[in-house]
Structure 1
Amino acid sequence: MSDNNLPPVPQGASPLPPVPPVPPAPSAPVPPVPPVQSYPGVPQFQPQPPQFTQPQPQFTQAQPPQFQPQPGARKSRKGLIVGISIAAAVLILGGGGLAVAGASISSSVAPDAQVKEFLQDLVDGRAEAALEVMGEKPSGLLTDEAYNASANHITDFTVGKAKTTGDTSIVTAKITQGGTSYTQEFELAKAGKTFVVFDTWQLQSLPLGVVDVQVQGPAGLAVQVDGNAIDVADGSSLRAFPGDYEVSVVDDSDLFDAEPATANVVGLSDDAAGSVATAAVTTTLTEAGTAAARSAVDAYVDGCVAQQSLAPTGCGFGARAQDGVSYSNIRWTLTVRPTYSVGDWAGNGWSVTTETAGTLDVVADSVDGAGRSGQSGTTLSNYRPVGTVSVVDGALTFSSSVLPF
């Protein structure tokens, strides 16, 4: 039969196993003692080094386990709460940052921002950048070179709030150009989205102002605007940003001079007051050109007088034949030469008018129906050539505007 009783505890023995001794705590490094400052007449105290005693092992009676909340668990929960609070704060701050960033993006792509960018480019002399905002490419006077060579640009502006309806937005700006202020309306169309949620807008092309180039002079003259060559082969109306544009022509002739003309473009729309500006370059004959013009008229008259016809071709004068009479050996004589006045360009040449009239005599051999022969003649006492002189192959030529006889 087995014995289930525990063996008796020997005398003097503890009912529990002995607690192992606690190892002594490592000694903390002793900080250096600062030097003591001496004061005269005051007793001095010497610092004593700290005394350390070797901790003695303590033996305590083991207690049955107690079920009580542990301080460590409470501390951990507090740490968790603090951590959650910090995380929430980070989320709040992050959300605020996103809101600020979102507002910044939205503002940068807003309709009024596009208008501000466009106008600031013009103030700063960046014509091609302004065109890019409108989605256009440089051409004609719409280049940095042509724009910066002109004068009297936009100097200031104020942009109002956009009025948006559906996919269209209207922005009105007040613009200052030199001593003039005016309002300009801009239309923008919705172009898409950026960052998924923010609408983007495209500034619609403006009609812009127009420099209407008119050269009052011979055909084929090279045109310059503010010293820059401009091709006007496709038309004389050139779109332009607000400004003053000086139009001139290039010629190497000593027969005439060309006076430059300035087109003052005010506004960004072709229906604005002053936005369609005409630059009429006027050419005038020089002293040498005026003399050449008179010589050209004389040559014309002499050519007419040399024709052996009662009605010289293209000359505007003549003598009428009598019925039943035939004429031969017709001879014109300029007994008094007319004098001329040469004026301004008149459509296709410089105008020529007669100051003093000339006199023409004509004689011819004649035979009537009865076979009688003799000499016939008459006098034209108020001969007045009228027309224009123009440059042909580098020389001046006269063209009569008088109806044929």
Structure 2
Amino acid sequence: MAGDLTAIGGLIAVIVAATIFGGFAAYRALYSPAAFVTNYLDLLASRHAVEALAVPGVAIDRSQLSAAGLPQDASDALLRQAALASLTDIHVVSQKQAGDHTEVTVAYRAGGYPGRTTFDVVRNGWIGIVPGWRFATSPLAVVDLTVHGSADFQVNGFPIDKRQVSTAGVRADLAAPVHLLVFSPGLYAVRVDTSAMSSPTKALLSDAPFRRTAVEVQARPTPEFLSVVQQRVDEFLTACARQHVLQPTGCPFGTQIDDRVAEPPDWSIVKQPVVTLIPDGENWAIRWAHATAHVTVPVQSLFDGSMSTVDADVPFGVTGSVSVDADGRATIEITATPND
């Protein structure tokens, strides 16, 4: 009997120890601060943006942004599934207690780039018999994004119009940065890809909660847009050449003749300028380009009345400006420059 009791007691001790160990393992895997943070990252990895925002401590109000020195008008346009990039290789590096707070450091790969973030977690009541948790500092962050030369851009392939994310709406200053809330951690790749403008991709790794990061992107004209501007300049100069006067009105070329013009001059463009566009604020300037016109005009000498023909090339230079409004309409202005 004594032996049986000893065996039963040993079995009970083993069961209790296993239960305690299993409970601890379950707590660590499912209910610990590290598990809370891992769950948030898993939601981002599976691109469940709505559910990630619902995690306690993630969503914020505008007063919290202001108190943290962040722009109160930051748009939430990127807090959606379509704007999330891949998040893989998530694993907890450390969990450290600091008073009522727990600092959980997690490593991961965001869009292929390695990253590491520390989250501040505090108690948030109880879920049955286990503690609940929330982020003491929201893992959201702000990107101050300035895109020069285009009102339209993409973030992780998600299209955005500056006027849609600015509080000024259609009156938005296209030269001003737009403020965008983003999840941390996350990789955000910005590019311009329109029929008129394009840019290389510029990537930002948001890896610090409630921080502000500035990104600047310069769009460039596409070959198609340059071709259109070149065509318009060519057409403008060709139209100038149809004017049978020595100084075609509103045109960048002309000539002066001291003798009497016997018949109206004939102009032609023998060398069109090669158009190159350079940034000029939010618009574009046509870089100075060489061109040549040709004039043929019969003249009569004021000295002896003899007749001759002026048949000469007239070199000139072309500059100008190209402005593109928010709807993609271009306005081209040609400016005359002194002859060579």
Q: Report the alpha carbon displacement of residue 287 of structure 1 after superposing the two structures with TM.
A: 2.0
Q: Report the alpha carbon displacement of residue 388 of structure 1 after superposing the two structures with TM.
A: 1.5
2:96 equivalent to 1:163: yes
Q: Which residue of structure 2 lines up, in the alignment, with residue 318 of structure 1? A: none
Match runs of 1:257-268 below 5 Å? 257-259=196-198, 261-268=200-207
Corresponding residue SS for 2:219: strand
Note if contact 1:184-1:268 (Cα within 8 Å) is conserved in structure 2: yes
TM-score (norm 1): 0.48
Q: Which residue of structure 1 lines up, in the alignment, with residue 187 of structure 2? A: 243
Q: Report the alpha carbon displacement of residue 244 of structure 1 after superposing the two structures with TM.
A: 5.4
Query: Counterparts of 1:268 and 1:226 in 2: how far apart (Å)?
Result: 16
Q: Report the alpha carbon displacement of residue 117 of structure 1 after superposing the two structures with TM.
A: 1.0
2:139 equivalent to 1:206: yes
Question: Deviation per CA, 1:357-391, whole angstroms, max 9, x where unpaired?
Answer: 899xxxxxxxxxxxxxxxxxxxxx99755441224
RMSD: 5.0
Query: Counterparts of 2:191 and 2:289 in 1: how far apart (Å)?
Result: 34
Q: Which residue of structure 2 lines up, in the alignment, with residue 175 of structure 1? A: 108
Paired amino acid for 2:332: T
Corresponding residue SS for 1:192: strand
Query: Counterparts of 2:182 and 2:230 in 1: how far apart (Å)?
Result: 37
Q: Report the alpha carbon displacement of residue 156 of structure 1 after superposing the two structures with TM.
A: 0.5
Question: Deviation per CA, 1:215-265, whole angstroms, max 9, x where unpaired?
Answer: 424xxx5444455432422153434452353534555xxxxx322542323
Query: Counterparts of 2:152 and 2:215 in 1: how far apart (Å)?
Result: 20
Query: Counterparts of 1:216 and 1:203 in 2: how far apart (Å)?
Result: 39
2:74 equivalent to 1:135: no
Sort the Cα spacing of 1:162 and 1:213 in 2 relative to 1 into closer, same or farther, 3 A.
same
Q: Which residue of structure 2 lines up, in the alignment, with residue 109 of structure 1? A: 31
Corresponding residue SS for 1:125: coil
2:83 equivalent to 1:146: yes
2:219 equivalent to 1:281: yes
Sort the Cα spacing of 1:287 and 1:179 in 2 relative to 1 into closer, same or farther, 3 A.
closer
Query: Counterparts of 2:29 and 2:79 in 1: how far apart (Å)?
Result: 29
Note if contact 2:28-2:35 (Cα within 8 Å) is conserved in structure 1: no
Paired amino acid for 2:80: T
Match runs of 1:305-344 below 5 Å? 306=249, 340-344=273-277
Query: Counterparts of 1:239 and 1:174 in 2: how far apart (Å)?
Result: 22
Question: Deviation per CA, 1:8-27, whole angstroms, max 9, x where unpaired?
Answer: xxxxxxxxxxxxxxxxxxxx
Question: Deviation per CA, 1:178-204, whole angstroms, max 9, x where unpaired?
Answer: 554332211123333444773633353
Corresponding residue SS for 1:135: coil
Query: Counterparts of 1:174 and 1:104 in 2: how far apart (Å)?
Result: 22
Which 5+ residue runs of structure 2 have no aligned equivalent? 2-7, 61-74, 167-176, 253-264, 294-313
2:294 equivalent to 1:354: no
2:229 equivalent to 1:229: no
Q: Report the alpha carbon displacement of residue 132 of structure 1 after superposing the two structures with TM.
A: 2.6
Q: What is the percentage of aligned positions where both structures have the same residue?
A: 19
Question: Deviation per CA, 1:88-108, whole angstroms, max 9, x where unpaired?
Answer: x99997898588557745763
Question: Deviation per CA, 1:44-63, whole angstroms, max 9, x where unpaired?
Answer: xxxxxxxxxxxxxxxxxxxx
Query: Counterparts of 1:106 and 1:226 in 2: how far apart (Å)?
Result: 34
Note if contact 2:277-2:287 (Cα within 8 Å) is conserved in structure 1: no
Paired amino acid for 1:140: A
Corresponding residue SS for 1:171: strand
Question: Deviation per CA, 1:142-189, whole angstroms, max 9, x where unpaired?
Answer: 211222xx5xx2210221332222232211122234554332211123
Paired amino acid for 2:31: V
Query: Counterparts of 1:232 and 1:100 in 2: how far apart (Å)?
Result: 53
Note if contact 2:318-2:334 (Cα within 8 Å) is conserved in structure 1: no
Structure 2 residue corresponding to 1:290, chosen from 230, 249, 254: 230
Sort the Cα spacing of 1:204 and 1:401 in 2 relative to 1 into closer, same or farther, 3 A.
farther
Note if contact 2:124-2:131 (Cα within 8 Å) is conserved in structure 1: no
Query: Counterparts of 1:227 and 1:182 in 2: how far apart (Å)?
Result: 21
Paired amino acid for 2:59: E
Q: Report the alpha carbon displacement of residue 120 of structure 1 after superposing the two structures with TM.
A: 2.0
Q: Which has the larger radius of gyration?
A: 1
